[in-house]
Amino acid sequence: MTATPIESRMQRPIILFSRIWPWIFLGLLIAFFVAVVPLASNGSVNFLTIRNSQNILVAITPVLLLGLGQTFVIIGRGIDLSVGWVMSLASVLSALAIRTVFNAGLPLSLSIVIGLLAALGGAGLFGFMNGVIIAKLKVPAFIVTLGSSFIVRGVALLMSENTTVIGLPPGIRDYGNEALVYYIRGEGGGLYLLQRPDVGGDLVRRMDAILPYPVVLTAIVVAIAVFLLHKTQFGRHTYAIGGSPEAAIRTGIPVDRHVISLYILSASTAGIAGFLSTLRFAAGSAVIGDPLLLSSIAAVTIGGVSLFGGAGTVIGTVIGALIIAVLTTGLVMLNVEAFWQFIVIGIVVIVAVLIDQSRDLIISRDRAGQSS
Amino acid sequence: MEPLLSIRKLTKRFGGLIAVRQVSWDVYAGEVVALLGDNGAGKSTLIKCISGVYRADEGEILFEGKPTLFVRPLDARNRGIETIYQDLALANNLHVSANIFLGREIKTRYLGGLIRTLDEDQMRRESAHALQSLEIRFPSLTQPIENLSGGQRQAVAIARAVYWDAKLMIMDEPTNNLGVPEQQKVLELIRRLRDRGVPVILITHSLPDVFAVADRLIVMHRGRKVAERKTAETNTSELVQYMIGALDDER
């Protein structure tokens, strides 16, 4: 049969806009702060310096990591409210593991690998439990992960004995805070790879760390997530399950197994986030993750992942996380009272969802008009 | 000629209710058979016994001459019985070729199969080929199905079944919720399937559809087969009488 294109004249620009507005918004935000921050400080502070951009990237890594797993879960028509406390648990577990095996005489690098495995193992176990209860017992994901977040919270606090896990080997900080590249501006400076230049005084003040290790590791996770979601059968099935669970079942996709792996994946990225926080602060904390949960869902939502499932991209979530970080940092630099950040981010989240919904409304209205 | 599908005295009960009672029915290659009946006549139950959703309590089903027992819908599909329900089992957020290959994606292997990526080009080529063979034309295979009309989506579901070598196609009210031009296109597609030798069981209560495409028809009433006719040898008013139970050949 011959088909006419169904897209109306209205539809195409609106779909395009709904797809690219986060990029535009991020660009406008940066431009705004670049223009306004120097004015507010009489030219003494600039927004887009190397140091500030790296600070933004470091600040965003935990939220982004939580958001990456959440992206898969939400595209698959679920939600994972436990990732904040899972991150905390992973931080505690990795700190305990590193301390124990290092004190038992293992070298630092091996201790850190074991710390990562402990973080992933503990997190993955809770992800698996979430997934099994959701997929096999058909309890709504919202309830299951709400309940398990309390459980994980209890476990994390018990294991940390309600205090920060300290006494980690001193060298651990380097892994969490050193960078791939160092750059010293001006006289006697230069570019240094992989090694913090051993300089003092004025040169240290002119030195910038570019691409800190947590950012590098997060970038690798982002690349893997892009590959997994957009290039593999796993990603295709995630979209299918989110778009039409019924169709997924009928076409023979192993839906239950897939849903379980989505929650394991989400817990795992939270596990990596917890592990990184342990490296960064050289301590395990049972309260580090919880405040990040809602920010991560906000990042995912701003980035265009539909809470109804079936739509969204990894890069969208990256942009969403960047928008939050740029907003937060920029407002701080403008000396705006910190509480305004929450108000602004809240508005951005709601506007983001409104844009997505108006797009869906226009598409479905067009379709209804077609078939009548 | 031996029938492709042969149903012998099939009965299906739900508790005390007999949804299908002693129905026998043959379907031959290259014909369109309509299954008619009012709501609750047992059409859907009968079809679900054939497609492996339900298991019959009595009687047997022979497919390609062999007695068959489909425990799951997947068993029936693997044997070449494709059922297209009204919701079409399409993922509306995915594009045409993603839907045709849903659950059976073609993959490119790297590192000895350790890393496998979707072979989008190959799937798109195969999809284009499958659609072309049914003379279905879409402006683009990469737009999400949600941008397509009801008839176009119906066509995607049919093309998918054909691509995966359906030997028998069961279609549940395929023209429901479609505009008139779209209905004609779907009926045209059904004729084309028949011409390729794929028999189609058409579940419907649209009599115009029956007279437009069906070679033969059976009518069900309260779980029983009450009439079997060649389409050319009956008419609307007679069929209505059978559908409301005023006439009954088997009594």
What ipTM describes this predicted complex?
Answer: 0.83
Q: Which residues in chain B (181-200) have CB-CB distances under 8 A to chain A?
A: 182, 185, 188-189
Residues 23-52 of B with CB under 8 A from A: none
The closest of A62, A89, A86 to A157, measured between CA atoms, is A89
b or e along B34-58 (b: 16 or more beta carbons within 10 Å of the residue's beta carbon)?
Answer: bbbbbeebbbbbbbbbbbbbbebee
Query: Which of A1, A227, A363 is opposite residue B188, by nearest beta carbon?
Result: A1
Q: Which residues of B touch A250 (CB under 8 A)?
A: 73, 85, 89
Residue written as token pair 């998918």: B160
- 3 state SS of A1: coil
Per the prediction, chain B carries an average pLDDT of 89
Q: Which range (A170-179, A213-222, B214-223) has the least confidence? A: A170-179
- Contacts A226 to B, Cβ<8 Å: none
Residue whose C-alpha is closest to residue B70's, from B55, B59, B91, B88: B55
Give the mean pLDDT of A17-27.
Answer: 89
State the nearest Cα–Cα gap between A15 and chain B, in angstroms: 11
B121 lies within 8 A of chain A by CB: no
Q: How far apart are CA A56 and CA A74, in angstroms?
A: 25
B103 closest CB neighbour out of A5, A7, A251: A251
Residue B132 near chain A (CB below 8 Å): no
Q: Establish if A12 touches chain B: CB-CB under 8 angstroms.
A: no
Residues of A in contact with B191 (CB under 8 A): none
Which has more pLDDT, A318 or B135? Answer: A318
The residue of chain B with its CA nearest to that of A244 is B91
Where is mean pLDDT largest: A22-26, A66-70, B25-29? A66-70
What local confidence, expressed as pLDDT, does residue B75 receive?
A: 84
Q: Does B105 touch chain A (CB under 8 A)?
A: yes
Query: How high does pLDDT run on average in chain A?
Result: 90
Among B91, B136, B152, the residue with its CB nearest the CB of A243 is: B91
Tell me which chain A residues have a C-beta less than 8 angstroms from the C-beta of B189. Answer: 1
Residue A244 touches partner B, C-beta closer than 8 Å: yes
What pLDDT is recorded for position A190? Answer: 83
Considering only residues B135 and B121, tell me which one the structure prediction assigns the higher pLDDT.
B121
> Residue B20 — very low, low, confident or very high, per pLDDT cuts 50/70/90?
very high
pLDDT at A279 over 80: yes
Res. A144: pLDDT tops 50:
yes
A323 near B CB under 8 A: no
Residues of B whose CB is below 8 A from A231 = 117-118
Lowest mean pLDDT among A37-51, A68-82, B118-132: A37-51
Name the residue type at position B202: L
Confidence of residue A160 (pLDDT cuts 50, 70, 90): very high
In this model, does residue B47 exceed pLDDT 50? yes
A247 contacts chain B (CB < 8 A)? yes
Answer for the pair B200, B29: CB distance below 8 angstroms, yes or no. Answer: no
Please check the confidence at residue A372 and state whether its pLDDT lies above 80.
Answer: no
A117 pLDDT band, cuts 50/70/90, is: very high
Q: Does B103 touch chain A (CB under 8 A)?
A: yes
What would the mean pLDDT of A339-359 be, rounded to a whole number? 89
Q: Find the residue in B nearest to A365 (Cα).
A: B147
Q: Give A 301-320 residues with CB within 8 A of chain B.
A: 310-311
Q: Which of A1, A236, A311 sits opposite B136 (nearest CB)?
A: A1
Per-residue model confidence (pLDDT) at position A10:
64
Rounded to whole angstroms, the Cα distance separating B6 from B33 reads 13
Instruction: Report the pLDDT value the prediction gives residue B114, as an integer from 0 to 100.
Output: 86
Contact check, Cβ <8 Å, A233/B118? yes
Return the pLDDT at A366: 66
pLDDT at A3 (0 to 100): 43
Least confident of A178-192, A353-367, B170-184: A353-367
- Position A370 pLDDT exceeds 60: no
User: Do B93 and A367 lie within an 8 Å CB cutoff?
Assistant: no
More confident site: B177 or A183 = A183
A230 Cβ contact list (under 8 Å, min separation 6): A313, A314
Model pLDDT, residue B178: 83
Give the per-residue pLDDT at B206.
85
Tell me how far apart the alpha carbons of residues A346 and A352 are, in angstroms, rounded to a whole number: 10
Whose CA is closest to A115, among A134, A137, A92? A92
Average the pLDDT over A290-297 and give the result: 93
- Judged against a pLDDT cut of 70, whether residue A4 lies above it is answered with no
Query: Does the beta-carbon distance from B93 to A310 stay under 8 Å?
Result: yes
User: Does A240 contact B at CB distance below 8 Å?
Assistant: yes
Q: Which residues contact A117 (CB under 8 A, 6 or more apart)?
A: A97
